[in-house]
Amino acid sequence: MKKIVRAGLFFALLVVFLFPRTAVFAQVVHADIKLHLEKIPMDHRHKLADLQEKLTAYVNDYEWTDDEDLGNLYLNIQIFLQDISSNFEDRYAGQFLISNNSDLQFFDKHWRFNYSPGDAFYHQENAFNPLTSLIDFYVNLILGGEYDKIDKLAGTKYYIISQDIAHQGRFGRFPEGWERRQDLVDKILGENHKIFRLGVDAYYLGISYQDENPKLMLKQCAKGIHLIAQALQKDPQDQIARQFVKSHSQEIIDMFKKSGNEEVFKTLMQLDPEHKALYSKYIQE
Average pLDDT over residues 37-41: 97
Cα–Cα distances (Å) from 272 to 66, 71, 219, 264, 284, in that order, read 37, 30, 21, 12, 19
Decide if pLDDT at 32 tops 90. yes
Task: Please indicate, yes or no, whether residues 12 and 134 belong to a single structural domain of this protein.
Answer: yes
- Give the residue numbers spanning the domain of 115: 7-138
* Domain termination site, one of 138, 161, 179: 138
Residue 1 lies in a domain: no
Residue 144 lies in a domain: no
* Domain termination site, one of 118, 138, 158: 138
Residue 132 lies in a domain: yes
Task: Please indicate, yes or no, whether residues 12 and 76 belong to a single structural domain of this protein.
Answer: yes
* Domain termination site, one of 138, 161, 180: 138
Average pLDDT over residues 51-55: 98
SS (H, E, C) the chain: CCCCCCHHHHHHHHHHHHCCHHHCCCCCEEEEEEEEEEECCHHHHHHHCCHHHHHHHHHHCCCCCCCHHHCCEEEEEEEEEEECCCCCCCEEEEEEEEECCCCCEEEEEEEEEECCCCCCCCCCCCCCCCCHHHHHHHHHHHHHHHHHCCCCCCCHHHHHHHHHHHHHHHCCCCCCCHHHHHHHHHHHCCHHHHHHHHHHHHHHHHHCCCCCCHHHHHHHHHHHHHHHHHHHHHCCCCHHHHHHHHHHHHHHHHHHCCCCCHHHHHHHHHHCHHHHHHHHCCCCC
Task: Please indicate, yes or no, whether residues 200 and 133 belong to a single structural domain of this protein.
Answer: no
Q: Structurally, how many domains does the chain consist of?
A: 2
pTM above 0.95, yes or no: no
Residue 178 lies in a domain: no
Residue 153 lies in a domain: no
Residue 222 lies in a domain: yes
Task: Please indicate, yes or no, whether residues 17 and 126 belong to a single structural domain of this protein.
Answer: yes
Among the ranges given (3-7, 16-20, 240-244), the one the predictor scored with the smallest mean pLDDT: 16-20
Mean pLDDT of the chain: 89
Task: Please indicate, yes or no, whether residues 19 and 81 belong to a single structural domain of this protein.
Answer: yes
Q: What is the pLDDT of residue 68?
A: 72
Task: Please indicate, yes or no, whether residues 14 and 131 belong to a single structural domain of this protein.
Answer: yes
**Paired residues of 99 in beta bridges:** 76, 105
Task: Please indicate, yes or no, whether residues 34 and 133 belong to a single structural domain of this protein.
Answer: yes
Residue 174 lies in a domain: no
Task: Please indicate, yes or no, whether residues 23 and 134 belong to a single structural domain of this protein.
Answer: yes
Task: Please indicate, yes or no, whether residues 134 and 251 belong to a single structural domain of this protein.
Answer: no
Average pLDDT over residues 152-181: 97
Among the ranges given (12-26, 97-111, 242-256, 268-282), the one the predictor scored with the smallest mean pLDDT: 12-26
Task: Please indicate, yes or no, whether residues 206 and 83 belong to a single structural domain of this protein.
Answer: no
Task: Please indicate, yes or no, whether residues 134 and 209 belong to a single structural domain of this protein.
Answer: no
Task: Please indicate, yes or no, whether residues 216 and 112 belong to a single structural domain of this protein.
Answer: no
Residue 171 lies in a domain: no
